[in-house]
Chains A and B, each alone.
Chain A
């Protein structure tokens, strides 16, 4: 079984971004970049399925400028077998990304596509579901457990009320939630090995997909700042303030 894992280069999750002075976008100058944490969980899951003998090949794909090869290499160091970079300088929207991925799916015919449920930059939570719709695949989103059996996959999903399990006929799309696994650290030998694994570069324009954007960002502003409050001396003062000043308890 072949597993395709799309990954995204995003800001490191520890970085608190600032907005540019002209309100056009967030300022990513010199920001530390990394593989989106949910994508990393997706890579880990695919690699574990390979280690269990369920999968025999893990292919990673990233869509972006040359710099995203770094994240592809990270995924290869975690154990993926080969990489594909779909090269574009444009910041594409989820729909365009999903359309490009659908083309990659057509070429690669994976039995499973595992993606992160959301990227921590645009926080859209869309691409996996869109890809599933465009390819006619069933989907198991926000997965906390994945069990492959006999041409089917059981996915336990984290939902607002608890957990839900669905069964999908392969090929299927899965998106990862935080508790699916804890990604390993790449070892130095594996990082070295990753440098020699195959990485194909294909221009996005060659896929024959309409890449025009549908959504215009009019402005990006900082969120309203919360005024820091006060420290109370003890529980008595806290209760007194909540009752008489904030008036949120009686």
Chain B
């Protein structure tokens, strides 16, 4: 088994998901290579080389990979695929974007968003917003797999893999990067935080999210949201937790003014401890909450902040 893992980064930092995706890869086989593609990504390669279980880091450093355009990244991976039994990436918006292209160009299926590895060809993945769990086996020679990072522990940083340059440049004429607006935040990333506090439609507007910020500051928590809160324009899209947003599994998840629709639960129900604050005692969120507080959030949140 020889596994090529795509390392996710923002040019400055290796994303914390990568160490978890490597963990999943090591369960598929033991010869794990990490591909770092990007522009000026040498320091990423050095960070990647420390991940335990990685035998080799391959670096494709070229402007063509600067914004992880799906067309260029997929072509690079396809070119490199020879000799690998598995191609693996995180089920992030980056991985989801280019991996199906890789699969199609290799004429193989993709196994999306796995939460478990049964063997080198058999994987476990949620379907129907996590209301069913499928065990699937692929007959393909090359297995193209995306991994739900929240379901795996991170490998540690005790490794010291060799770093090798890759001299493949793939540039699509038909797709180009225009601009990016990334949310700047001092808080931990949603998908990496130990504690997440999320607000829903019950927050009523964007300003009221400051009630969550005070608590998040005290707990070192990330802030999330339901789709309703994002759709209503209270907060940015990258804060959406759920079936079609981000999947989180922190130690503590606090849902505030969120009813608990199945699509939201799909994104957080694997959290270790769930707290729900909602004024409607019949809200479905209470069915998954370890601790439910039936209260008006506008009274409960300031009190909670003062008592932490």
Contact = CB atoms under 8 A, between A and B. Distances in A.
A33 interface: no
Nearest to A116: B244
A223 B175 contact: no
A165 B179 contact: yes
Given A123-B128, A228-B286, A179 B237 contact: yes
A191 B5 CA distance: 49
A162 B134 contact: no
Interface stretch (B21-29, B38-46, B91-99, B152-160): B91-99
A192 interface: no
A213 to B, nearest CB: 8
B97 A129 contact: yes
A220 interface: yes
A215 interface: yes
B140 A214 contact: yes
Of the listed residues A16, A95, A179, the one surrounded by the most CB atoms of chain B closer than 10 A to its CB is A95
A111 interface: no
B105 interface: yes
A17 B131 CA distance: 6
Interface residues of B: mostly helix, strand, loop or mixed?
Answer: mixed
Contact of B273 (A93, A138, A158, A246): A246
A157 B94 CA distance: 11
Interface residues of A: mostly helix, strand, loop or mixed?
Answer: mixed
Of the listed residues A117, A126, A239, the one surrounded by the most CB atoms of chain B closer than 10 A to its CB is A126
A124 B292 contact: no
B20 interface: no
B183 interface: yes
Of the listed residues B183, B288, B290, the one surrounded by the most CB atoms of chain A closer than 10 A to its CB is B290
A167 B104 contact: no
Interface residues of A, number: 79
Nearest to B179: A165
B93 A160 contact: yes
B208 interface: no
A127 B158 CA distance: 39
A178 B128 contact: no
Contact of A17 (B99, B102, B132, B181): B132
A133 B127 contact: no
Interface string A193-232: 0000000000000000000001111111111001011111
B92 A160 contact: yes
Interface string A158-175: 111111111111001000
B128 A235 contact: no
A159 B94 contact: yes
A26 B172 CA distance: 41
B197 to A, nearest CB: 11
Interface stretch (B56-64, B161-169, B199-207, B300-308): B300-308
Interface of A: 11, 13, 16-19, 26, 38, 93-95, 98, 117-118, 120-134, 137-139, 141-142, 144, 154, 157-169, 172, 177-179, 214-223, 226, 228-232, 234-236, 238-239, 241-242, 246, 248-249
Interface of B: 10, 67, 69-71, 74, 92-94, 96-105, 107-113, 122, 126-140, 172-183, 191, 195, 219, 227, 230-231, 236-238, 243-244, 246, 251-252, 262-263, 269, 272-275, 281, 286-295, 300, 303-304, 307-308
The 9 nearest A-B residue pairs measured at CB? A229-B290, A129-B100, A138-B175, A130-B104, A126-B100, A133-B101, A133-B104, A214-B109, A165-B178
Given A95-B104, A216-B137, 7 more contacts: A94-B110, A133-B100, A161-B238, A162-B182, A215-B138, A216-B139, A248-B195
